[in-house]
Copies of this chain bind each other. A is one copy, B any other.
Amino acid sequence: MDANQPPLLAGIEAGGTKYVCAVGHQPDELLRETRFPTTSPEETIDQAVGFFRQAAAEFGPLRAMGVGTFGPADINPRSPGYGGILNTPKEAWAGFNVVNALRDGLGEPVPIAIDTDVNAAAIGEAEFGAGRNERNVAYVTVGTGIGGGILIDGQPLHGRLHTEIGHLLVPDFDQPGKATGVCPFHDRCLEGRASGPAIEKRWGKPATELPPDHPAWQLEARYLAAAAIDLTAAWSPDIIILGGGVMQQEHLIDLVRGEFHALAGDYWTLPPLDTYLVTPWLGQNAGIVGALAMARRLL
């Protein structure tokens, strides 16, 4: 250990299907990283704690931890339930307190900050990625689900709970009678129409098997553009970063810009769309880098 080294930061991207854990002296320079499937709460937290204990033995004591978690979750630091997963289809996790379990497991008084996975990714991109030099950064992930968060002057927007933009209502752009929503709650919400499973249900094969000239992508772009307009109306961000598995289709972002232009109808005064609607610089690392940046904000 070098006495002049910055303190050791810990981060978890606590996703619904996998956990990513990492340590580093800088949020964007990971010293060690591990990823494993999200199983039962006890088993998953045990694995995370094991990783961090080993990392601490090797690199020195953890000074702070940031967690970006799947939700819904209680992320209000003033709440007695801070750090708890709320009512979720992942039933074993409902009511489980991630922060308390980590604190108990680590056995050390490490300060822990928790926020949504999308707010963590927004922080990562704001500090080290596409959102640098922007005051108000929106991050949207489009994958198995759809979620989003916004930073206003660098701080995540928390309302009563947290934003849930996957359940924005969107116009019906499917052909009449062809709608294929996958949300069990809503006929016309964003996640039900534009998530990875929605694409697969509509076209009969996974998004990764649809060629770039398939009509699926124009329709997908139109739904995502509608969402971007709603976020412009509701949040007025400086930049909207679209990430997640579905956005790894490299041709998609340009289609979204085109559909945004058509739907927006010259109403909005905005920066050029190729600087307003962008993909993440950090790619799939936005969340874990953001979790470490959340830890650094605790110092």
The chain A residues found within 8 Å of chain B, CB to CB, are 72, 86-87, 135-136, 150, 152, 157-172, 185-186, 188, 226, 229-238, 263-269
Contacts and interface: CB of A to CB of B under 8 A. Distances in A.
Given A152-B152, A164-B268, A171-B171, 9 more contacts: A136-B160, A150-B159, A161-B269, A162-B236, A165-B234, A168-B233, A169-B171, A169-B226, A234-B235
Contact of A234 (B163, B185, B266): B163
Nearest to A157: B152
Task: Give 4 nearest A-B pairs by CB, closest first.
Answer: A159-B236, A234-B234, A185-B267, A185-B265
A238 B232 CA distance: 21
State how many copies of this chain the complex holds.
Answer: 2
A236 B152 contact: no
Contact of A172 (B87, B135, B162, B171): B171
A151 to B, nearest CB: 10
Please indicate which of the listed interface residues A162, A186, A230, A269 has the most CB atoms of chain B within 10 Å of its own CB: A230
B267 A159 contact: no
A136 B160 CA distance: 7
A184 to B, nearest CB: 8
B167 A233 contact: yes
B238 A159 contact: yes
A86 B233 contact: no
Contacts of A236: 158-164
30 contacts: A86-B269, A136-B160, A150-B159, A158-B236, A159-B237, A159-B238, A160-B236, A160-B238, A162-B236, A163-B234, A164-B232, A164-B233, A165-B234, A166-B233, A167-B229, A167-B268, A168-B230, A169-B170, A169-B171, A169-B226, A169-B263, A170-B171, A171-B171, A185-B264, A185-B266, A185-B267, A186-B263, A186-B265, A231-B234, A234-B235
